[in-house]
Chain A
Amino acid sequence: MTTTTLKINGQTATVSAEPDTPLLWVLRGEMKLVGTKFGCGKALCGACTVHLDGQAVRSCVTPLEAVGGREVTTIEGLKGREADALRAAWTEVDVVQCGYCQSGQLMSACALLKATPKPSDDQVSDAMRGNICRCGTYPRIRAAIHLAAETAGR
């Protein structure tokens, strides 16, 4: 067991975990930040998506030792203009059903809007195709991203 210092959601945290522990399980098991979800363990579904320095990554295949000094952002710490616009749009459009994948969907959508403030349909597809939703909220996710792009740009 080694001690690692992480920058998470704007704060510094010290965790005790083996260096190969996936960031997902450090967040959920050590830090009790359970908003980031476990779905597949193989970067196939996107439920575990977090940001490292603003980039969307799958935390289930990101070892703790690979995080380094990068800023980790989880759904609990997701804030700012794009995040606010996305949450408002998600609510306006009533995207969620079971909601389990939605932390990951929002993290991916937020990274998209930060990089591409007015994404095309194809750009939405490219950014979001790694996030599976079994409830089938895709049409509303697409609509909500376009709506958020509009409101965040105002």
Chain B
Amino acid sequence: MPQLKRRHFVLGTLGAAGALVVGWAATPAASRLVPGAPLPAGNGQVALNGWVKVGSDDTVTLVMTQSEMGQGTHTGLAMLLAEEMDASMSQVRLEQAGFDAIYNNQAMILDALPFRPGDEGFGKRAAHQVVGKLLRTIPGLSGTGGSSSVTDQWGPVREAGASARLMLVGAAAAQWQVPASECRTEAGRVLHPASNRSARFGELAAKAAQQPLPTAVKLKAQADFRVIGQPQRRIDNAGKLNGTATYGIDVLPPGLLYASIAMCPTLAGRVARFDAKAAEALPGVRKVMALEPVAASLVGTGSTAGGVAVIADTPYHAMRALKKVDIEWDHGPAASLSSAEMIDRLARTLDADAGNARLDTGGVAAALKSAARTIEVEYRVPFLAHATMEPMNCTVQFKDGAATVWAPTQAPGFARAAVAKALGIDAERVTLHVTYLGGGFGRRYFIDFLVQAAQLAREAGGAPVQLIWSREEDMTHDFYRPAYVALCKAGFDAAGALVAWQTTSAGSSLGAPSFMDNSTDGAWNTAYDFPQARVAHVPVESAVTTGIWRSVAHSQNGFFVESFIDECAVAAGKDPVAFRAGLLAKDARHLAVLKRVAELSKWGEPLADGPDGTKRARGVAIHRAFGSIVAQVAEVSVTPERQIRVHRVVCVIDCGLPVNPNLIRQQMEGGIVFGLSAALRGEITVARGQVQQSNFHDYTPLRIDECPAIEVDILAGTGAEVPPGGVGEPGTPPIAPAVANAVFALTGQRLRSLPLRLA
């Protein structure tokens, strides 16, 4: 393929029926606007770059790389495009991205590199350059996770919109024989005020596609934003309120068959033998077959269990027949595993001075030794399930050596590769349709259920097969948030000032090699200015399948750090907010968030008893994750049955530039409820190698009557110069410590283990 200079790109030619076929000859190395292969267009649409198509019907189509799992990314990214194109939100449509390298999620991968926020040193720049170069060449690294969607596309989607806008303006200027500089854009039109002329984007699209691709674009100044920063409604409301939104479990390709699976109840176990005679005799049954365990993808450990699946004409025929299959299990090496013993062993063997230290100022041991006073405590968190409302499912059709996949997945690139491998075909022979996700929380980064569906489809004679896991299979065959133990030590001088801080955790590193082990995220890179500090992690793997879970390592480290800092405040005889403020004195953003949450929660003022006369108390926590700083104050009481009730949560976030205040609030509320479910009740236990919880009766998320009132404030102003941070996950880490700290303030009991249980 000839290397052409960018200004010579041929952008497209008009087809016979007015359809425009668009192609670019090469990819400029530094740009994410131009894909390596033509972006398909047609049906009255033209492509103006790798992200934007304009239709003669005035629709503006954004190529969507991100999976919508509730976090509102479809709305947020549509806003970025509408802003720079001067399109109306109602004009914007979405179309799923292909696998070109321009669609790789660079922010998610770069954010996983081990550099502290604010580090702009040579090492970070060099690593970003090397990894960034790889990310621009290897396709299929798109993915939704790490609260990274807006951060990743803040540049490319706005540039794509601005570039498309320039081409539309160029087309209008040429048509009207006026200088482009005299034209402006507004609400999907190009205007020439001097001659009082205007044209709709749709009228200009075909001509715009013949304009040269701009070699530079000027993005709007913040002061000129009219979409970004305004509370926008979600664009996916209507279909989710009338039953027409399509999740993975809802796809209905013609001739669809259904499959149900029973996996070995023991972790990583497999099928020894099975007898399907009785099942096969039942009506509607097509096939009964065994499936092997499937290993975790990159962000977890272990393998799911093998199982037996039934393919049948309807979902219920498959489920009913499955119960009639006589299965003998090979329980495998995990058959004696106990999570309680495992966690006790983690605690017994944890050496505070061991592990990979991401932060070590060098003088912790000496500072602790010479301290006037030290405290040393142990914290624990359990395994947790994701328990998305939509159970794992996937639909695959394998016909004529090619596969079509309909999947609720967070990782389309991994998903496509995994299906291709399972079927022994090239990835190019797999067409993947990403549906809406009925929750993700990290679970749908894994490809186990896709591989199973592909293996079933291979035996279905060309018919599409929809594999649906029961809730019980979903609960007992998750990639669980790992259990962790942390040893925390602090030293104080004679005046009560903190002089040394040391935390060492042990547990799964989610399969990461040591240089990429992010198990201390949210512990080694806090904003606290400790005189001496060491933060380390000891990788200890088990047979329990583990994986990323909303906020990943922040989910445990937020609890460890923000509980222990509260203990330090108490040990130092200081108010918890004042003590934190002292250690955050050099960080204006953290200080502003902390001050605001104290104001809004009336921290320091007496808290009224509940209407039933029960005492209430407040607790505070502040945590930075995925580029955003969140502080929360929880108000709690304890029932006569010793149950913790959370009545009100005040939440303040500085997420840099707020893109959509409405969705930021939604994500704070959702993150708090998700974290609170875990803090108050979430616990997966394993006995004899088997997960003990099976459905929502024994793994019970918060229900509406237990949900606190939540007030969210978005700090505007301090973050105005800062590009947007993530919002999908940062709401989760602070809630458990905020509640635990409130429980301490109320009862004097320091709860160092999740879920929080009063003695």
Which A residues lie at the B interface, using CB under 8 A?
A: 1, 17-18, 21-22, 25-26, 28-30, 32-42, 44-45, 47, 74-76, 78, 87, 90-91, 94, 96-103, 106, 124-126, 128-142
Q: Which of B236, B390, B436, B673 contacts A136 (CB 8 A)?
A: B673
Q: Which of A38, A78, A100 contacts B439 (CB 8 A)?
A: A100
Stretch of B29-37, B261-269, B695-703 at the chain-chain interface: B695-703
Q: Which of A25, A42, A129 contacts B704 (CB 8 A)?
A: A129
Bound form: Cα–Cα A90–B233 in Å: 11
Bound form: Cα–Cα A32–B391 in Å: 18
Would you call B697 and A125 a contact (CB within 8 A)?
no
Q: Which residues in chain B, 700-741, are within 8 Å of chain A measured between CB atoms? A: 701-705, 707, 709-710
Bound form: Cα–Cα A133–B238 in Å: 18
Would you call A37 and B390 a contact (CB within 8 A)?
yes
Bound form: Cα–Cα A37–B243 in Å: 9
Would you call B670 and A136 a contact (CB within 8 A)?
yes
Q: Mark B226-255, 1 if CB is under 8 A from A, else 0.
A: 000000011011111111111101101000
**B510 shortest CB reach to chain A, Å:** 21
Bound form: Cα–Cα A128–B669 in Å: 18
Bound form: Cα–Cα A101–B705 in Å: 17
Given contacts A87-B241, A94-B237, contact A100 B704 (CB under 8 A): no
Is B72 in contact with chain A by the CB < 8 A criterion? yes
Q: Which of B241, B314, B438, B703 contacts A30 (CB 8 A)?
A: B314
Interface of A, helix, strand, loop or mixed by DSSP: loop
Is B51 in contact with chain A by the CB < 8 A criterion? no
Inter-chain pairs besides A97-B71, A97-B670, A99-B239, 12 sampled, C-beta below 8 Å: A39-B389, A74-B243, A75-B243, A76-B242, A97-B70, A125-B704, A132-B703, A133-B701, A134-B387, A134-B674, A136-B669, A140-B669
Residues of A within 8 Å of B701, CB to CB, are 132-134
Bound form: Cα–Cα A74–B471 in Å: 22
Q: Which of B245, B696, B704, B710 contacts A44 (CB 8 A)?
A: B696
Residues of B within 8 Å of A74, CB to CB, are 243
Is B560 in contact with chain A by the CB < 8 A criterion? no
11 residue pairs of the A-B complex, CB under 8 angstroms, read: A29-B258, A34-B249, A37-B390, A44-B697, A91-B238, A97-B670, A102-B240, A103-B243, A131-B704, A134-B439, A142-B707
Would you call B243 and A96 a contact (CB within 8 A)?
no
Is B685 in contact with chain A by the CB < 8 A criterion? no
Is B151 in contact with chain A by the CB < 8 A criterion? no
Would you call B315 and A29 a contact (CB within 8 A)?
yes
Bound form: Cα–Cα A135–B387 in Å: 11
Given contacts A32-B252, A97-B666, A139-B669, contact A41 B471 (CB under 8 A): yes
**A101 shortest CB reach to chain B, Å:** 5
Is B316 in contact with chain A by the CB < 8 A criterion? yes
Would you call B390 and A87 a contact (CB within 8 A)?
no
Is B468 in contact with chain A by the CB < 8 A criterion? yes
Q: Which of B70, B388, B696 contacts A99 (CB 8 A)?
A: B70
Q: Mark B456-486, 1 if CB is under 8 A from A, else 0.
A: 0000000000001011100000000000000
Bound form: Cα–Cα A100–B245 in Å: 9
Would you call A42 and B315 a contact (CB within 8 A)?
no
Given contacts A134-B389, A139-B707, contact A98 B695 (CB under 8 A): no
Residues of A within 8 Å of B696, CB to CB, are 40, 42, 44-45, 132
Q: Which residues in chain B, 653-706, are within 8 Å of chain A measured between CB atoms? A: 662, 666, 669-674, 677, 695-697, 701-705
Would you call B470 and A136 a contact (CB within 8 A)?
no
Is B155 in contact with chain A by the CB < 8 A criterion? no
Would you call A137 and B389 a contact (CB within 8 A)?
no
Is B69 in contact with chain A by the CB < 8 A criterion? yes
User: Whose C-beta in chain A lies nearest to the C-beta of B472?
Assistant: A41
Q: Size of chain B's interface in residues, with CB distance under 8 A?
A: 64
User: Closest 6 interchain pairs by CB?
Assistant: A35-B243, A136-B673, A100-B438, A98-B70, A99-B240, A97-B70
User: Whose C-beta in chain B lies nearest to the C-beta of A96?
Assistant: B240
Would you call B673 and A138 a contact (CB within 8 A)?
yes
Is B582 in contact with chain A by the CB < 8 A criterion? no
Would you call B707 and A36 a contact (CB within 8 A)?
no
Would you call B389 and A45 a contact (CB within 8 A)?
yes
Is B406 in contact with chain A by the CB < 8 A criterion? no
User: Whose C-beta in chain A lies nearest to the C-beta of B240?
Assistant: A99
Q: Which of B241, B672, B674 contacts A102 (CB 8 A)?
A: B241
Q: Which of B237, B439, B704 contacts A124 (CB 8 A)?
A: B704
Given contacts A74-B243, A98-B70, contact A42 B471 (CB under 8 A): yes
Given contacts A35-B242, A39-B391, A135-B70, contact A98 B703 (CB under 8 A): no
Is B18 in contact with chain A by the CB < 8 A criterion? no
Bound form: Cα–Cα A74–B237 in Å: 18
Residues of B within 8 Å of A32, CB to CB, are 252
Is B548 in contact with chain A by the CB < 8 A criterion? no
Residues of B within 8 Å of A140, CB to CB, are 666, 669
Residues of B within 8 Å of A142, CB to CB, are 704, 707
Would you call B695 and A42 a contact (CB within 8 A)?
yes
**A49 shortest CB reach to chain B, Å:** 12
Bound form: Cα–Cα A143–B118 in Å: 40
Residues of A within 8 Å of B561, CB to CB, are none
Residues of B within 8 Å of A138, CB to CB, are 673, 702-704, 707
**B586 shortest CB reach to chain A, Å:** 34
Would you call A34 and B242 a contact (CB within 8 A)?
no
Is B446 in contact with chain A by the CB < 8 A criterion? no
Q: Which of A18, A76, A137 contacts B243 (CB 8 A)?
A: A76
Bound form: Cα–Cα A128–B703 in Å: 8
User: Whose C-beta in chain A lies nearest to the C-beta of B245?
Assistant: A99
**B357 shortest CB reach to chain A, Å:** 36
Q: Mark B279-310, 1 if CB is under 8 A from A, else 0.
A: 00001000000000000000000000000000
Bound form: Cα–Cα A36–B249 in Å: 11
Would you call B241 and A136 a contact (CB within 8 A)?
no
Q: Which of A28, A94, A98, A106 contacts B438 (CB 8 A)?
A: A98
Would you call B670 and A137 a contact (CB within 8 A)?
yes
**B40 shortest CB reach to chain A, Å:** 28
Bound form: Cα–Cα A129–B242 in Å: 22
Would you call B243 and A25 a contact (CB within 8 A)?
no
**A18 shortest CB reach to chain B, Å:** 8
Residues of A within 8 Å of B709, CB to CB, are 139
Is B437 in contact with chain A by the CB < 8 A criterion? yes
Is B441 in contact with chain A by the CB < 8 A criterion? yes
User: Whose C-beta in chain A lies nearest to the C-beta of B672?
Assistant: A136
User: Whose C-beta in chain A lies nearest to the C-beta of B670?
Assistant: A136
Given contacts A32-B252, A34-B252, A99-B240, contact A25 B316 (CB under 8 A): yes
**A50 shortest CB reach to chain B, Å:** 11
Residues of B within 8 Å of A18, CB to CB, are 316, 320
Would you call B704 and A134 a contact (CB within 8 A)?
no
User: Whose C-beta in chain A lies nearest to the C-beta of B673?
Assistant: A136
User: Whose C-beta in chain B lies nearest to the C-beta of A87?
Assistant: B241
**A100 shortest CB reach to chain B, Å:** 3
Residues of B within 8 Å of A33, CB to CB, are 243
Bound form: Cα–Cα A12–B510 in Å: 53
Q: Which of B438, B677, B697 contacts A37 (CB 8 A)?
A: B438
Would you call A135 and B670 a contact (CB within 8 A)?
yes
Would you call A44 and B695 a contact (CB within 8 A)?
yes
Residues of B within 8 Å of A124, CB to CB, are 704
Bound form: Cα–Cα A136–B675 in Å: 10
Would you call A128 and B390 a contact (CB within 8 A)?
no
Most A CB atoms within 10 A — which of B68, B240, B283, B390? B240
Bound form: Cα–Cα A28–B319 in Å: 14
Would you call B243 and A36 a contact (CB within 8 A)?
yes
Would you call B240 and A136 a contact (CB within 8 A)?
no
Residues of A within 8 Å of B669, CB to CB, are 136-137, 139-140
Would you call B470 and A41 a contact (CB within 8 A)?
yes
**B322 shortest CB reach to chain A, Å:** 13
Bound form: Cα–Cα A114–B366 in Å: 70
Residues of B within 8 Å of A94, CB to CB, are 233-234, 237, 662, 666
**B737 shortest CB reach to chain A, Å:** 18
User: Whose C-beta in chain B lies nearest to the C-beta of A131?
Assistant: B704
Residues of B within 8 Å of A132, CB to CB, are 389, 696, 701, 703
Residues of A within 8 Å of B241, CB to CB, are 87, 90-91, 96, 102, 106
